[in-house]
DNA sequence: ACATTTATCTCATAGAATGAGAGAGGTTCT
DNA sequence: AGAACCTCTCTCATTCTATGAGATAAATGT
């Protein structure tokens, strides 16, 4: 059988586990079916990552596209309610919420996790969350508050780093190749206390998490916060598909309470059965 | 100056207030910049509206596209994490949640409404929600629970009809042309009790809501539910841009309580100042 | 086991997407 | 104020991309 290159070969290297995301950094201009669609998604991602409205040139610049092209794309997206524009400012549009709703209601992972998170939050009194990795980040995908809720809000849909806090539980399962990509992308790493994290320390952290099967993080992503995380594995492949985390203000949790929490979280994570 | 037809002329008839949405019904094949992007959005909308995973032919059929085209689009979307596929089943993908998050955090309307909903929920003890119209539907865009919360969940991102319950508050502001489009699209209307609603009754309902400046709905969209709604108007144009609603199980609210509630809701709705 | 439906992939061709460019409207200097 | 600059908007000729028929392979139903 002759070797041929198929559409899927490019954007799906290692299934959904590829880390690319920001193409500009690695500058790999891979051939693509549907350039215009890829570009439209680039534009959308710019708007999604910006916490504020942006102007045309700004979007074009960040997406690395010609202004005319960007404008045309934004025009179509606006006509479809996926972008909103007042004056010269573009923002994400209402219709984007339907996609999130569809994901949250159809994802088997989310469905399987909900009751588990519920019980975990009840038993520990802390906020229980489910994270999923996408590219070099993670997303909050489900969350149940306990009786001692967090002081700060971490809403569903928040995009968080892979290299801090519970993110490391997801990063721990990356292959050596993917891990290098991640390190390249994030550049110099430092935690919420300002401490620099060397690649060596980072790698050994991941190694430890992999061995232990759970993770305790203090003041990593957010000062004054404590989290305990464990990986959710695919029943079939054994690959890490998500992480379950309980989070709290660090003064709400006594040190001798932590061991019990790790047991709870590990049990919850393994209780999630996902195809 | 010569008359020319511009991109915006087609997909933005009456700003974002057009009702099209489903092109197939009216079968108006308008010229479009970026056909492939339009089609990709069609595919996404199919996935967003389906409450369950779909197969390729099914998606192609619903979107009115060739199977090959549909597959190519799905492939790109999957590579970008906006669609997920297990086996032959396609679903909405994780990355769609970032768009929703961006909308919810950058929309001035949502930001302006949050404190108002908060206070309304506190004062009435009921669940206060903000709805926005998109096409022939409305979306739940913000929500605060009171001390007497609803029994059923109505999550953010839910897509609801315009012709039932609080939807009529939004429909009341439609122009005659748009209203006709809406009636064409939804076809025969009936409420949660199974009662048929004739176009005449519907129009007079809207007229009443427009006059009163609020609406009380009982058992319309959901049996056993009661809602009180009022329109949020643009400070500049005066157009209805959203609706504020309080909802409750009907047995939680005594009849003589309702008048007070309408006053609260109207006050809340007019307290939202949106550019 | 056979028939039918569905998915995947290739390829020549139509025509859609592209970006340079010009014009108009703002903004920020001196 | 005037000039220089920047940004937005729109048009149009050219190019290269998106398209769908069709062949093949896989899955599904009877």
**Strand C contacts in A 44-73 (CB under 7 A):** 65-69, 72-73
Residue B16 has pLDDT above 70, yes or no: no
**Strand D contacts in B 49-68 (CB under 7 A):** 65-68
pLDDT of residue A18: 41
φ, ψ of residue A16 to 5 degrees: the values are -90, 10
Nearest-CB residue to B101 (from A77, A98, A158): A158
Contacts of B98 in chain A (CB under 8 A): 45, 48-49, 139, 157, 159
Q: Give residue-wise pLDDT tens across range A192-230.
A: 999 999 999 999 999 999 999 999 999 999 999 999 999
Q: Could A96 and B91 be called an inter-chain contact, meaning their C-beta atoms sit closer than 8 Å? A: no
First to last CA, chain B: 32
Q: Which of A237-241, B60-64, B123-127 has the lowest mean pLDDT?
A: A237-241
Answer whether B221's CB lies under 8 Å from B191's CB: yes
Instruction: Give residues with Cβ within 8 angstroms of A58, minimum separation 6.
Output: none
Percent share of chain A, pLDDT over 70 = 88
Best CA proximity match to A102, nearest among B35, B225, B90:
B90
Structure tokens at B273: 């100042």
Residue A1 has pLDDT above 60, yes or no: no
For A121-148, letters b (16+ CB in 10 Å) and e give: bebbbbbbbbbbbbbbbbbbbbbbebee
Q: Give residue-wise pLDDT tens across range A252-268.
A: 999 999 999 999 999 99
C-alpha dihedral, A183 to A189 to A192 to A193, nearest 10°:
140
pLDDT of residue A4: 26
C-alpha dihedral, A257 to A261 to A264 to A267, nearest 10°:
-130
Label residue B19 by pLDDT band (50, 70, 90).
very low
Best CA proximity match to A130, nearest among A154, A102, A163, A97:
A154
Label residue A275 by pLDDT band (50, 70, 90).
confident
Provide the 8-state DSSP code for B54. Answer: B
Structure tokens at B154: 């109505």
Percent share of chain B, pLDDT over 90 = 79
Label residue B149 by pLDDT band (50, 70, 90).
confident
Nearest-CB residue to B79 (from A12, A73, A77): A12
pLDDT of residue B13: 27
Best CA proximity match to B167, nearest among B177, B152, B156, B182:
B182
Disruptive mutation site among A80, A90, A234 for chain B (greatest number of B CBs within 10 Å): A80
Q: Mean pLDDT throughout B14-37? A: 51
From residue A192, give the alpha-carbon distance in Å to each of A184, A214, A218, A223, A225: 20, 21, 9, 6, 10
Answer whether B111's CB lies under 8 Å from B102's CB: no
pLDDT of residue B11: 26
C-alpha to C-alpha distance for A203 and A192, rounded to whole angstroms: 19
Separation between the CA of A55 and the C1’ of C30 (whole angstroms): 27
Q: How are beta strands A240-249 and A127-134 bridged, if at all?
A: antiparallel
Structure tokens at A88: 């010269």
Burial class (CB within 10 angstroms; exposed 0-12, middle 13-18, buried 19+) of A234: middle
Residue A63 has pLDDT above 90, yes or no: yes
pLDDT, chain B, mean: 88
pLDDT of residue B148: 85
Q: Could A139 and B98 be called an inter-chain contact, meaning their C-beta atoms sit closer than 8 Å? A: yes
C-alpha to C-alpha distance for B260 and B262, rounded to whole angstroms: 6
Label residue B31 by pLDDT band (50, 70, 90).
low
Give the 3-state secondary structure of residue B146: coil
Disruptive mutation site among A70, A87, A97, A142 for chain B (greatest number of B CBs within 10 Å): A97
First to last CA, chain A: 32
Contacts of B138 in chain A (CB under 8 A): none
Label residue A31 by pLDDT band (50, 70, 90).
low
Separation between the CA of A36 and the C1’ of D16 (whole angstroms): 12
Label residue B32 by pLDDT band (50, 70, 90).
confident
Q: Give residue-wise pLDDT tens across range A36-50.
A: 999 999 999 999 999
C-alpha to C-alpha distance for B266 and B257, rounded to whole angstroms: 15
Measure A45 CA to nearest chain B CA, in Å.
8
Residue A247 has pLDDT above 60, yes or no: yes
Residues counted in chain A: 275
Q: Which of A206-215, B52-61, B151-160 has the lowest mean pLDDT?
A: B151-160
Segment (H or E) for B27 = none
Three-state DSSP string of B219-238: CCCCCCEEEEEEEEECCCCC
Separation between the CA of B52 and the C1’ of C5 (whole angstroms): 21
Nucleotides of C under 7 A from a protein CB: 5-10, 16-21
Q: Mean pLDDT throughout A236-242? A: 91
Q: Mean pLDDT throughout B61-73? A: 96
Closest nucleotide (C1' vs CA) to A39 is: C17
Contacts of A10 in chain B (CB under 8 A): 79
Q: Mean pLDDT throughout B223-232? A: 96
Label residue A154 by pLDDT band (50, 70, 90).
confident
DSSP, residue by residue, A180-219: HHHHHHH-SEE-TT--EE-HHHHHHHHHHHHHHT-EEEES
Measure A200 CA to nearest chain B CA, in Å.
30
Q: Mean pLDDT throughout A237-249? A: 94
Specify the higher pLDDT residue, A10 or A40.
A40
Q: Mean pLDDT throughout B206-232? A: 96
C-alpha to C-alpha distance for A171 and A191, rounded to whole angstroms: 16
Give the 3-state secondary structure of residue B201: helix
A67-79 helix and B35-49 helix, angle to the nearest 10 degrees? 40
Is the minimum distance from the CB of B111 to strand C below 7 Å? no
Closest nucleotide (C1' vs CA) to B9 is: D10
From residue A257, give the alpha-carbon distance in Å to each of A124, A125, A250, B72: 10, 12, 11, 52
Best CA proximity match to A61, nearest among A44, A46, A50:
A46
- Sheet of A159-161: strands edge to edge? A159-161, A137-144, A127-134, A240-249, A225-233, A215-218
Label residue B145 by pLDDT band (50, 70, 90).
very high
Contacts of A50 in chain B (CB under 8 A): 102
């Amino acid at each position: 059988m002759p070797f041929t290159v198929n559409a899927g070969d490019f954007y799906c290297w290692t299934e959904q586990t590829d880390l690319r995301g920001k193409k500009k950094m690695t500058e790999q201009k891979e051939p693509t079916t549907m350039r215009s669609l890829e570009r439209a998604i680039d534009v959308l991602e710019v708007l999604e990552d910006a916490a504020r409205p942006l102007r045309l040139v700004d979007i074009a610049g960040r997406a690395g596209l010609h202004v005319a092209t960007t404008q045309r794309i934004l025009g179509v997206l606006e006509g479809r309610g996926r972008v909103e524009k007042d004056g010269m400012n573009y923002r994400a549009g209402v219709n984007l919420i339907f996609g999130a709703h569809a994901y949250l209601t159809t994802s088997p992972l989310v469905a399987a996790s909900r009751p588990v998170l519920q019980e975990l939050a009840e038993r520990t009194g802390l906020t229980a969350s489910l994270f999923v990795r996408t590219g070099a980040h993670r997303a909050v995908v489900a969350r149940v508050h306990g009786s001692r809720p967090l002081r700060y809000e971490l809403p569903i849909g928040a995009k968080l780093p892979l290299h801090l806090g519970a993110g490391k539980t997801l990063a721990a399962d990356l292959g050596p190749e993917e891990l290098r990509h991640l390190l390249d992308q994030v550049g110099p790493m430092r935690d919420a206390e300002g401490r620099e994290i060397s690649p060596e320390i980072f790698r050994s952290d991941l190694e430890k998490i992999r061995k232990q099967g759970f993770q305790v993080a203090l003041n990593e992503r957010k000062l004054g916060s404590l989290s305990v995380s464990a990986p959710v594995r695919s029943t079939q492949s054994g690959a890490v598909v998500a992480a379950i985390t309980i989070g709290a203000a660090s003064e709400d949790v006594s040190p001798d309470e932590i061991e019990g929490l790790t047991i709870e979280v590990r049990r919850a994570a393994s209780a999630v059965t996902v195809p």
